[in-house]
Amino acid sequence: MFRTKSVEQSIRDTEEPEHGLRKSLSALDLTVFGVGVIIGTGIFVLTGQVAKETAGPATALAFVAAGVVCALAALCYAEFASTVPVAGSAYTFAYASLGELVAWIIGWDLVLEFALGTAVVAVGWSGYVRSLMDNVDWTMPEVLSGPDVAEGFGFDILAFALVLVLTVILVVGMKLSARVTSVVVAIKVGVVLMVIIAGLFFIKAENYKPFIPPAEKQETGGGWDAPLVQLMFGYEPTNFGVMGIFTAASIVFFAFIGFDVVATAAEETKLPQRDMPRGILGSLLICTVLYVAVSLVVTGMQHYSELSISAPLADAFKATGHPFYAGLISFGAAVGLTTVCMILLLGQTRVFFAMSRDGLLPRFFSKTHPRFRTPYRPTILLGVVIAIIAGFTSIEELATLVNIGTLFAFVVVALGVLVLRRTQPDLPRAFRTPLVPLLPILSVAASVWLMLNLPVETWVRFGAWMALGVVVYFVYGRSHSRMAREGR
């Protein structure tokens, strides 16, 4: 259960003709992927909710706090991704440092995280597209608009079709995926910059007063929807005030989810030792700056108490008498969510592929396409499954599982850095996480704190999925593991 797979063996596995991926990505491609997956529903939706209910104009500080937590984890990811340039991200890192069982658990966790993330974003994309269609008097039949819209049976044909189209793009090749992502990210970043520049002309200084509103006790009821930290320690989170900023950080953390997906493409990077740290840290820095700027502009355009929760950016421009900008923002959001969906699907297929190559999942899924050199079998399987989930399921309540899954991965990677530094101190490292062991310990503490601020219900669902994963490991993975077969 605690056998580790050496870094050298992991790298040798990538050289097998039938199980290796084509190296075609540069540092710019990785940065574009990172920006493409990070900037999504978070910046277009969460800004208004957090400002109105939790932090006021200090939402900008909440984005900074969440960005710092991600930066601590990103430095750990950068060391691992440059040292072990193999598909699988946190799963591969855990296998090299903490052992097979921990690797399986984190891989099982990532499969859930990326699957739900892809489906949630696809449903969100569908909603934006239907909204744009309504603007030109095109209306989708309710029965094809999903269970959230239709009464009784509903199938979200747009979300279903999006996932299938992106599956085809990922099968054809990573370079095509990178080109599509580059175009879409350029549009999305252009919209964000438009919001910042145009919004500067409508800022009113009085809207920033008070910048940190007085603290209010948060009404959680103490039930299943209460944060775990409240039940464990009697701590009651607050809205507004200084502590409200940290409460808000645990919410806007969702807006940063995705930079870790960059690490799943390490095996397909031309110079991973140099380019992986640049891609991971560069994309995170760019997105943090954009998030802070947008939150400052929006809370300056409209008083935080009057912000819209569903579409704060667009509605803030409407409130100032500029509906044209509101339409552009809705278009940018719809286009932008396309890349988020594609890159989350990319991340999941690479984790699944790495686990099958190690024998923990059926080896049938570890064969690459003879022409495109992509893991086409798991891509097709997962693409179809997620398309069906997105089409039939209303999954907003499951979105918090994406948060807890990502934070759990952060904890494992930070601990893995500590273990590998101790067990293999002489291993060549193109990038070294600074201030070890202090920085990884801070990363673990910050991630755990944000996890404790998630509802008890989320923890129960996450625990059930993890328990199922342990059962699958002992029934199948442990005996079929490639490491176990070679040992025998």
Reduced 3-state DSSP string for 189-254: HHHHHHHHHHHHHHCCHHHHCCCCCCCEECCCCCCCCCEHHHHHHCCCCEECHHHHHHHHHHHHHH
Taken as a whole, the chain contains a residue count of 488
Residue 73 contacts residue 410 (beta carbons within 8 Å): yes
Residue 60 contacts residue 292 (beta carbons within 8 Å): yes
Report the distance separating Cα 352 and Cα 350, nearest Å.
Answer: 5
Instruction: Tokens 């939402």: give the residue.
Output: 59
What amino acid occupies position 345?
Answer: L
Helices (H), 358-437: 376-392, 399-423
- Going by C-alpha positions, the residue among 301, 330, 334, 335 that lies closest to residue 316 is 301
C-beta neighbour count of 276 within 10 angstroms: 29
Report the distance separating Cα 150 and Cα 143, nearest Å.
Answer: 5
C-beta neighbour count of 197 within 10 angstroms: 11
- Going by C-alpha positions, the residue among 330, 354, 416 that lies closest to residue 94 is 416
Fill in the DSSP letter of residue 262. Answer: G
Show the tokens assigned to 301.
């355009």
C-beta neighbour count of 270 within 10 angstroms: 12
- Going by C-alpha positions, the residue among 109, 36, 121 that lies closest to residue 387 is 121
Query: What are the phi and psi torsion angles at 450 (to 5°)?
Result: -65, -35
What integer pLDDT is reported at residue 391 of this predicted model?
87
- Going by C-alpha positions, the residue among 446, 430, 437 that lies closest to residue 415 is 437
Ranges in the chain, pLDDT < 50: none
Sign of the four-CA dihedral 161, 166, 168, 171? negative
Distances (CA, A) of 455 to 204, 217, 255, 397, 398: 36, 17, 18, 11, 12
Instruction: Tokens 């597209």: give the residue.
Output: 129
CA angle 69, 463, 5 (to 5 degrees): 70
Report the distance separating Cα 111 and Cα 105, nearest Å.
Answer: 10
Report the distance separating Cα 433 and Cα 370, nearest Å.
Answer: 37
What integer pLDDT is reported at residue 436 of this predicted model?
92
- Going by C-alpha positions, the residue among 291, 282, 369, 403 that lies closest to residue 33 is 282
Report the distance separating Cα 226 and Cα 271, nearest Å.
Answer: 46
What integer pLDDT is reported at residue 58 of this predicted model?
93
**Alpha-carbon Rg for the chain in angstroms:** 22
**The pTM is what?**
0.82
Show the tokens assigned to 385.
């499954």
- Going by C-alpha positions, the residue among 402, 262, 288, 326 that lies closest to residue 39 is 288
What integer pLDDT is reported at residue 62 of this predicted model?
92
Distances (CA, A) of 188 to 35, 254, 282, 329, 332: 10, 18, 17, 9, 5
Residue 388 contacts residue 141 (beta carbons within 8 Å): no
Residue 35 contacts residue 236 (beta carbons within 8 Å): no
Show the tokens assigned to 209.
């007063």
Angle between helices 312-319 and 323-357 (to 10 degrees): 170
What amino acid occupies position 293?
Answer: A
Task: Specify whether the backbone of 373 is left (phi greater than 0), alpha (psi in -120 to 50) or beta.
Answer: left
What integer pLDDT is reported at residue 437 of this predicted model?
92
- Going by C-alpha positions, the residue among 274, 212, 276 that lies closest to residue 33 is 276
Show the tokens assigned to 315.
């509605």
Report the distance separating Cα 440 and Cα 250, nearest Å.
Answer: 19
Residue 397 contacts residue 451 (beta carbons within 8 Å): no
What integer pLDDT is reported at residue 276 of this predicted model?
84
